[in-house]
Amino acid sequence: MSDRLLELEQVRAGYGDFQALFNITLEVKAGEIVTLIGANGAGKTTTLRVISGLVRCKSRKLHFDGQDISQLPPHEIVMRGISHVPEGRQLFPHMSVEENLALGAYIPRVRPKLKAGIAEQFELFPRLQERRKQLAGTLSGGEQQMLAVARGLMAAPKLLLLDEPSLGLAPKIVEEVFAKIQQIGKSGVTVLIVEQNVVDGLSISDRGYVVENGEITLQGTPKELLANQQIRTAYLGL
């Protein structure tokens, strides 16, 4: 078997009559951090939703860990080892930090290790430990993002999907979040990030893809992409 953890080939998907994805082909190797960049509405979020099974797609290939996952419902995809941290955090606002984490460990495989899992997340995000009894809805934006990521990690995924982790956060907090993501990557979890924050996203990545109008138009190492004139004008305003 190859070291390709995730493979998408010619993925097409949409909502009703609206087609959002026309031709998405990408791969993520085990251990990589990969960033998907693109403008609003380019199809970044839909791509993640296809991978986690929230949106049905037509594809030549949608494989995870060497197996076809295109027909699986979302809850079974989680069990296979993909955690999706959705855009805008999407916490359970009237539950405590701890209870949100417990829901992250809902799948049978990790349920027995709930306590150890929570302890591990508290080690990675000490702020969450301080706020363990607090309702998720009352946390600051940065804390909520940390909790969303920690909740995703509770399922002990092989692949972590992060949708706009920097959205709505102050620059200093963004830095902190990306540092944590880098740390998570180093611990052996493969990460696929969707970001509008091109520079920060690419800075911690091994590779990047550019999505435009539902198609992958460019790919390369962060260095190559940041040197690309097209990207400099479109996303960096240079």
Partner 1 sequence: MESVVNWFYPLIQAILNGLLTGALYALIGMGMALIFGVMRIVNFTHGAFLMLGMYVSYVFFLKTGINPYLGFMVSGAILFVIGYAVYMGLLRRIPGQVDFMVILVTLGLALIITDGVQLVFGADYHQINLPLVARNFRLGTQIFVNAPWLLSFVIALVLAVALYLVVTHTMFGRAARAIAQNPYPSPLMGINVNRVQAISFGIGAAAAGVAGALLLPVFYLYPGVGSQFELKSFVMVVLGGMGSIQGAAIAGLVLGVVESLTSLYWGNEWALAVDFVIFILVLSLKPSGIFGSQRA
By CB under 8 A, name the binding residues for partner 1.
Answer: 52-54, 73-75, 78-79, 83-84, 86, 90-95, 99, 102-104, 106-107, 111, 151, 155
Pull the structure tokens for residue 217: 């138009």
Which is closer to partner 1, CB of 102 or CB of 181?
Answer: 102
C-alpha 150/C-alpha 171 separation (Å) is: 20
CB of 94 to partner 1, least distance (A): 5
Which is closer to partner 1, CB of 136 or CB of 177?
Answer: 136
Which residues touch 232 (CB under 8 Å, ≥6 apart)? Answer: 226, 238
DSSP annotation of 231 reads H
The Cβ-side half-sphere exposure at 54, using a 13 Å CA radius, reads 12
CB of 22 to partner 1, least distance (A): 25
Which is closer to partner 1, CB of 114 or CB of 218?
Answer: 114
CB of 68 to partner 1, least distance (A): 19
Pull the structure tokens for residue 191: 């990460």
CB of 217 to partner 1, least distance (A): 28
Which is closer to partner 1, CB of 99 or CB of 215?
Answer: 99
Alpha carbon 194 to its chain's center: 6
Helix (H, G, I), strand (E, B) or coil at 151: helix
